[in-house]
Amino acid sequence: MNTHYQKYKDLVPIVPQSNENATITFPDGKTYKIPILKGTLGPPVLDIRNLAQQTGYFTYDPGFTATSSCASQITYIDGEKGQLLYRGYKIEDLAENCSFMETCYLMIYGQLPCKKEKEAFEELVVSEMVVHKKIQDFYQGFQADAHPMAIMLGVVGALSAFMYQEFNVNDSRDREHIAIKVIAKIPTLAAYAFRTASGLPLIQPKKKYNYVQNFLYMMLANPMDEEFQIDEVIVQAIDKILLLHADHEQNASSSTVRIAGSSQANPFACIAAGIASLWGPMHGGANEAVLNMLEQIGNVDNIEKILQMSKDKSSGFRLMGFGHRVYKNFDPRAKIMQKMCYKVLQAVGQDTMPLFDLALKLEQAALNDKYFLDRKLYPNVDFYTGLVYKAIDIPVNMFTVMFVIARSIGWITQWSEMMAEGLNKIGRPRQVYVGEKIREFVKIEDRKKQNQSNILQMPKLAKVTNLMKL
C-alpha cells in the first residue's frame, strides 16, 4: 500500500527492570529467585518467564486471572477504587469532555487530538465506512433469522480476503491504516447485519453525517423517508456507550485477539476471533441478560423476593448487572450510564418507563442490603446499557453487536501494540495433564464395546432436508 507519509511514533510498552526478587523453595530443598516487576500503576508481578527452564515447574492458573500475559500502555483498571483509565485519562473525564472519535484517536496515537486533528481523523474514518460490493453480497447468503453476531463473525472474517497482501503488519503506517479501516468498517457491517435480519435494503454512508450519525442512519433509516432525522440526545448516548466500552484491559475477547495475532494471523481474522469470544453470554451478553431479568421481575413488589433468591445459591438465580470480575467498587461507567439513560428516556418520552423505574428501585434496594455491600456487588455498566438500547428501539439481538462496534478500537489497538512490541512470541499456554498414562494398543478386532458413547443410539440424518438443518 502507499506509505509515502511520515511514520507515526510507535507506542511500545517497555517491560520494567526488576530491582528485587521473591524466593521460592521447592520440595527438594532448592531455592530460586523470581524477579519482581513493578508497573507504573497496579500490583507487583512475579516474572516467571524463566521458571520452567530453571526449575522444570510450570504454574497453574485457570482463566489466567492471576497472570499478566503482556505489558501494556493502553488501559488500566483499579478494581478496588473503581477506576478506569484510557492512556492515563480517567473515564469520567473522557466521557464528560470527549467523543468516541477523540477516544479512538487517543487509543491509536497515545494523545488526545487538537480540533483540526480530530476533524481530519473523523473525516478520514467516515470516508472509509463504505464497504466493498462483494462484502455486501455476503449478506444475501445468510438465513433470514440468522443472529446478527453470526453475521458479524462471518463478514468481518471475510474482510481478510479483501485486505491481505496490501498490508505489512510490521510497518507502523500500515498498522495505523488497518486500525482506521477496522473502526470504520465495523459499524457499517453491524448496520447491515441489522437490516439483513429486518429485510431492509442496505444503504451507503453519507459524507454529511459524523461517525455515530452514519451508523444510526445506515441501521435505522426508513427507505420511504426523504430525510433521516434522529434526536441529538440519542446520538450522544450511543457515542457515550461506545466510548465507555472502547477497551477494558486484558478481558476474554482482547486476550483472544492477542492470542490470534501472536500467530501472525490476518488482523481482520484476529478481530473476528474477538467477536467470537465476545458473543459468549458471560462476556458480551450481560446487558441483554439484565433486560430479560428486569422483565422477569415485572414490578417493584417482586424486588425483595428476587433479592432473596439471588442470595440462595440453590435457587440457580443470579442478579444480573451487579458485581464484576475486576471491580470491587462501583463500576465508574455505571454512574455515567445511569445519567445518560435518564436523558435518553426523557428525549424519547419514556422517562416514566416502568423498567427504568424498576431498575432504580432494584439498585436502591441492593445498595441498602448488607449481603450485597459485604460482597461488594455494585451495579455495573451493563445494568443501564440495555435500557438505553430498548428506549431507542434497538432489538435485543443487536445488543452484543453494539459492543463489537465499541470494542473494535480496543481490539485493534491491543493487536497493534503487540505487533509494535516485536516479541514474535506465539501464545502457547501449558496444562496439567490428568489423562491416561501410556496404554497398550488394542487392534480393532480385539476391542470390546465400551458403552462410553451414544453413537449406536443416535438417529441417522438420512434426508437432505434434515442435513441442511445441521
pTM equals 0.91
Contact criterion met (CB below 8 Å) for 243 and 103: yes
Please give the Cα distance from 225 to 222 (Å, whole number).
5
Model confidence at 460: pLDDT above 80: no
Element spanning 221, H or E? none
* 319 CB neighbour count, 10 Å cutoff: 19
Q: Cα-flanking dihedrals φ and ψ of residue 33, to 5°?
A: -95, 135
Q: Mean pLDDT of all residues in the chain?
A: 90
Please give the Cα distance from 391 to 384 (Å, whole number).
11
Please indicate whether residue 324 is annotated as part of the active site. Answer: yes
* Virtual torsion, Cα 82, 86, 88, 91, nearest 10 deg: -50
**Strands, E assignment, 288-421:** none
Confidence (pLDDT) at 382: 87
Model confidence at 194: pLDDT above 80: yes
Provide CATH 2.20.28.60 ranges for the chain.
20-70
Please give the Cα distance from 50 to 48 (Å, whole number).
5
* 448 CB neighbour count, 10 Å cutoff: 6
Topology at the third CATH level for domain 304-391: Cytochrome p450-Terp; domain 2 (1.10.230)
CA distances from 178 to 63, 232, 266, 425 (A): 30, 30, 10, 21
Q: Are strands 89-90 and 83-86 parallel, antiparallel or unpaired?
A: antiparallel
Confidence (pLDDT) at 459: 75
Contact criterion met (CB below 8 Å) for 342 and 351: yes
Mean pLDDT within 240-257: 96
Model confidence at 297: pLDDT above 90: yes
Mean pLDDT within 316-326: 85
Contact criterion met (CB below 8 Å) for 397 and 148: yes
Mean pLDDT within 432-447: 94
Please give the Cα distance from 418 to 58 (Å, whole number).
24
Please give the grid coordinates belonging to residue 457.
Answer: 443410539
Model confidence at 3: pLDDT above 50: no
Model confidence at 4: pLDDT above 50: no
Q: Cα-flanking dihedrals φ and ψ of residue 32, to 5°?
A: -135, 145
What residues contact 22, with CB distance under 8 A and at least 6 apart?
Answer: 33, 34, 36, 46
Catalytic residue among 301, 382, 393, 446: 382
Provide CATH 1.10.230.10 ranges for the chain.
304-391
Topology at the third CATH level for domain 90-283+398-421: Citrate Synthase; domain 1 (1.10.580)
What residues contact 412, with CB distance under 8 A and at least 6 apart?
Answer: 178, 179, 182, 183, 267, 271
Using the structure block, give the residue that is written with the C-alpha cell 453519507: 206
Among 254-258, 348-352, 425-429, the least confident range: 348-352
Confidence of residue 352 (pLDDT cuts 50, 70, 90): low
Provide CATH 1.10.580.10 ranges for the chain.
90-283+398-421
Confidence (pLDDT) at 2: 46
Contact criterion met (CB below 8 Å) for 435 and 194: no
Confidence of residue 259 (pLDDT cuts 50, 70, 90): very high
Confidence (pLDDT) at 96: 96
Residues in the chain, total: 470
Output the DSSP codes for 96-160.
Answer: HH--HHHHHHHHHHSS---HHHHHHHHHHHHHT----HHHHHHGGGS-TT--HHHHHHHHHHHHH
- What letter does residue 406 receive in the DSSP assignment? H
Confidence of residue 6 (pLDDT cuts 50, 70, 90): low
Catalytic residue among 93, 324, 369, 374: 324
Does 20-70 carry CATH code 2.40.50.140?
no
Model confidence at 30: pLDDT above 80: yes
| Rounded-to-5 percentages of helix, strand, coil across the chain | 50, 5, 45
Whole-number percent of the chain with pLDDT over 70: 95
Confidence (pLDDT) at 294: 92
Please write the tens of the pLDDT for every residue from 108-139: 999 999 999 999 999 999 999 999 999 999 99
Confidence (pLDDT) at 342: 85
